[in-house]
Amino acid sequence: MLTDVHDFSEYHVPPRRILMHHPRHGASLENLSRDRLAELNFLDLPHPDELYAEYDGFAALVGSHVETIFLEDLLGDHEPYRLEAAANPNLIFMRDSSVTLPWAPSAFIPARPALASRAREADVVGRALEHLGMRALTRFEHDEYLEGGDLLPVTFDGKRVLLIGFGVRTTKAAAIKLALDLIPEHADAIIGLSHDPDLLHLDTGFTVLPNKVILAAAGMFGSGFLIDRDRRLSPVDPLSYAEALGCSIIRCDKADAIAHERCNLLPLGRRRYLAFDLPAELKAALEEAADVTIQLVKGTEIAKATGGVHCLTRPLYG
């Protein structure tokens, strides 16, 4: 959040490509039944043909801004991928299975999902990223669990900061592991944010935009902590800390954030964003405060799977 030349935040650095997984590839949705909704954390049973149409529209819009590449392109003959694509409809949420950093374009962090039905995603996606020449920075084990939707890379005061949310999918042990393995070479600090477990991931109810603007679901956070460059840990109140850094906070209703992915915005660089439908008042407030342009795409069926435009994409910077 400094001048543009020093800003390596996700919202500022345009991805060179975006890695995606089309739900048609493997057709896992077509055999989905209501008795699996809780297991998969779906809000409702999507209509496959309508979801495909929404996804096609979304993928075309993303592709009009940046090159897209699909898992099928990289792993079409890879048997573990084919099995996962046929069985796991959550594979479309490419944000969760890995983490990429705008300031380290040739590296990635393999995620480690806690949900049993998603446990194999990171291995499949890691294989694709390694195929592209990227290397893993660390590996999680024991009680270390992290999904990519709980991690947001930003720049604060010239420092490369990983914002990590803790709710139902990511553990504090994973943040400690990242501090030990990434500071100081690949990060300068980590801020842990304890968020309401009703919100699946950090990006369900929180995002950072240009001009020091934060969009957050009301009542999103409880406590938090900061791990600095010397790996010292100190407690912080997340939003008070942000305000002390000069950030302004725009809030939306928590229930609306959960049901409609209101905070789940996809930055494409050069102050361009994509989002599912936003209330006109909220869209106008964000565009004015952050000096951004938000292009809307239909996602009613996709949102039934508890994911938005940010969730569906894994930006690649190299």
State the CB neighbour count (10 A cutoff) for residue 238: 24
pLDDT(54) > 90 = yes
| Domain span at 230 | 4-316
Q: How many CB atoms lie within 10 A of CB 255?
A: 12
Average pLDDT of the segment spanning 218-226: 89
pLDDT of residue 52: 97
CA distance 217 to 206: 6
3-state secondary structure of 99: strand
- What is the arithmetic mean of pLDDT over 180-198? 95
DSSP SS3 for 11:
coil
Per residue in 123-150, pLDDT (tens digit) is 999 999 999 999 999 999 999 999 999 9
What's the domain count of the chain?
1
In contact, 48 and 30? CB cutoff 8 Å: yes
**Rounded Cα–Cα distance for residues 137 and 121 (Å):** 17
**With 0-12 CB in 10 A as exposed, 13-18 as middle and 19+ as buried, what is 192?**
buried
Residues 167 and 199: beta-carbon distance below 8 Å: yes
CA distance 217 to 203: 10
Residue whose structure tokens are 């995620």: 111
Q: Tell me the average pLDDT across 242-262.
A: 91
Q: How far apart are CA 146 and CA 169, in angstroms?
A: 6
- pLDDT, the chain, mean: 94
Residue 252 to residue 219: CA distance in whole angstroms: 10
- The pLDDT assigned to 4 comes to 55
pLDDT tens by residue, 261-308: 999 999 999 999 999 999 999 999 999 999 999 999 999 999 999 999
- Residue 33: CB atoms within 10 A of its CB come to 7
Q: What is the CATH number of the domain that holds 66?
A: 3.75.10.10
